[in-house]
Amino acid sequence: MDWADGFIAADWGTTNRRAYLVGRDGALHDEMEDGKGILSVPQGGFPDAVADLRTRLGDRPMLLAGMIGSNRGWVEAPYVAAPAGGEDIARQMIWPEPGRTAIVPGVCHADGQAPDVMRGEEVQIVGAVAGGLVPPDCLLCHPGTHNKWVELRGGRIAAFRTVMTGELFNLLKTNSILADLLGSPARPDEPFAAGVQHSLGEDDLTAELFSVRARILLGRGKPKEAPSYISGLLIGADVRIGLRMRSEREVIVMGRPELTALYAAALAIAGCRAREVDGERAFLTGVRHLAERAA
Residues that bind a second copy (CB under 8 A): 79, 108, 110, 114-117, 146, 161-165, 167-168, 171-172, 174-177, 203-211, 214-215, 217-218, 220, 234, 237-238, 240-241, 244
Residues 181, 223 contacting (CB under 8 angstroms): yes
β-partners of residue 291 are none
Q: Among residues 19 and 225, whose Cβ is nearest to a second copy?
A: 225
State the minimum distance, in angstroms, from the CB of residue 57 to a second copy. 29
Q: Among residues 32 and 94, whose Cβ is nearest to a second copy?
A: 94
44: left (phi > 0), else alpha (psi -120 to 50), else beta?
A: left
Helix (H), strand (E) at residue 130: helix 121-130
State the minimum distance, in angstroms, from the CB of residue 117 to a second copy. 5
Q: Among residues 39 and 51, whose Cβ is nearest to a second copy?
A: 39
State the minimum distance, in angstroms, from the CB of residue 32 to a second copy. 26
State the minimum distance, in angstroms, from the CB of residue 285 to a second copy. 27
State the minimum distance, in angstroms, from the CB of residue 108 to a second copy. 6
State the minimum distance, in angstroms, from the CB of residue 71 to a second copy. 8
- Sign of the torsion formed by the C-alpha atoms of 123, 129, 131 and 133: positive
Q: Among residues 16 and 211, whose Cβ is nearest to a second copy?
A: 211
**Cα separation values, 223 from 213, 218, 227, Å:** 8, 12, 8
Number of neighbours of residue 72 by Cβ within 10 angstroms: 12
Q: Among residues 100 and 146, whose Cβ is nearest to a second copy?
A: 146
Q: Which long-range contacts (CB under 8 A, 24 or more apart) does 108-116 make?
A: 108/79, 108/80, 108/81, 108/82, 109/81, 109/82, 109/157, 109/159, 109/160, 110/81, 111/82, 111/159, 112/159, 114/161, 116/160, 116/161, 116/162
Q: Among residues 49 and 205, whose Cβ is nearest to a second copy?
A: 205
Q: Among residues 172 and 290, whose Cβ is nearest to a second copy?
A: 172
For residues 71 and 90, give the distance between their C-alpha atoms in angstroms, rounded to a whole number. 19
Residues 263, 62 contacting (CB under 8 angstroms): no
State the minimum distance, in angstroms, from the CB of residue 173 to a second copy. 11
Task: Specify the 3-state DSSP secondary structure of 251.
Answer: strand
